[in-house]
Structure 1
Amino acid sequence: MTLPAQRSSGTPTTWRPLRGFEDIYSEFDRLVQSLVGGYGNGTTWMPAADVSETDAAYVVEVELPGVRREDVNVELDGNELVVSGEIKERRREGLLRRSTRRIGQFEYRVLLPGELRTDDVEASLAHGVLTVHVPKVQATKHNKIEVKDSNGS
């Protein structure tokens, strides 16, 4: 395969041996953003999260680095937990060369099985992780009933 010749416009240029890799990286980044949604291009994105279950509750941990508490909404609609909000772009000085941080609207949804104590849900944000604690309704206790002899004694 032959490559097209690049002609100089008369101005001297400096040789940059890694320029080809920068171009490949930029094209690959553009392709990935077009396939899975970009960083801050107006689309809603889903943050990474873990959902764990204990005997008493569900614990949902959502990664939200750089998010302020007032920019997060946590709602429980029936059995569906919805975490939404926005990461706002911060003011910068100077020329931004590359940005890979996610900005814009985000939303995470998870359906939790069983009966939940909706009045006792707690959420806290620390070190870029939102932790939501959703208690389960206490199941009825299982009691073993002793069977007695009914012969009159």
Structure 2
Amino acid sequence: MFGLSPYNRRNREMMNRPSDFFNFDNFSNFIDSFFNTDFFPQVQNVGQMKVDIKEKDNKYILEAELPGVNKDEITLELRNDMLTISVEKNEQIEETKENYIRKERRYGSQSRSFYVENVKAEDIKANFENGILSISLPKKEVKPNSNRKIDIN
């Protein structure tokens, strides 16, 4: 079974043109199509947490896309003006039918950190709904600089 490799029309067309095989664009397409067939399970992009940060008058809003993640798998931490979002996923699937047993285990973790200064740490609020983690970071009141010209004698 391990000697088998998916073979589809797109791969066959590329192999018919050996001079194009070493073209990086075609080689990249070959590799992508090899792993994106039904022969291999779909591989998730681990470590690619997509985050949007918006600034409002009185707060920052950070939204992180975490599809397929449960709320209890998320850790949110603020330490030394560094906000860290961590996700740790540990999944085990065991399926038994008449003549076969299937066991799969997947483990993955990812994290992103953001430097956030001038925020009220005690007023930070987070909400997780439909795979979107939304974090509200209220701004501290910034006092305007009191500039004063100093005379030199």
State TM-score, norm by structure 1. Answer: 0.57
Query: Is 2:125–2:135's contact at 8 Å kept on the other side of the alignment?
Result: yes
- Residues 1-153 of structure 1 mapped to structure 2, 5 A cutoff: 17-18=9-10, 20=12, 27-28=31-32, 39=43, 45-89=47-91, 91=93, 93=95, 104-113=108-117, 115-140=118-143
d(CA) in 2 for partners of 1:109, 1:30: 34
Moved over 6 A (4+): none
TM-aligned CA deviation for residue 49 of structure 1: 0.4
Q: Which has the higher contact order (CA 8 A, sep 6+)?
A: 1
Structure with max Cα Rg: 1
TM-aligned CA deviation for residue 81 of structure 1: 0.8
The percentage of counterpart residues that share the same residue type is 24
Q: Name stretches of at least 5 consecutive residues in structure 2 with no aligned partner.
A: 1-6, 16-26, 36-42, 97-105, 146-153
d(CA) in 2 for partners of 1:46, 1:18: 28
Cα root mean square deviation, aligned: 3.8
Q: Name the SS for the 2:93 alignment partner.
A: coil
d(CA) in 2 for partners of 1:29, 1:110: 35
d(CA) in 2 for partners of 1:29, 1:77: 43
TM-aligned CA deviation for residue 87 of structure 1: 3.0
Q: Number of matched residues?
A: 111
Which structure has more strand as a fraction of its residues?
2
Structure 1 residues 119 and 53 mapped into 2: Cα distance closer, same or farther (>3 Å)?
Answer: same
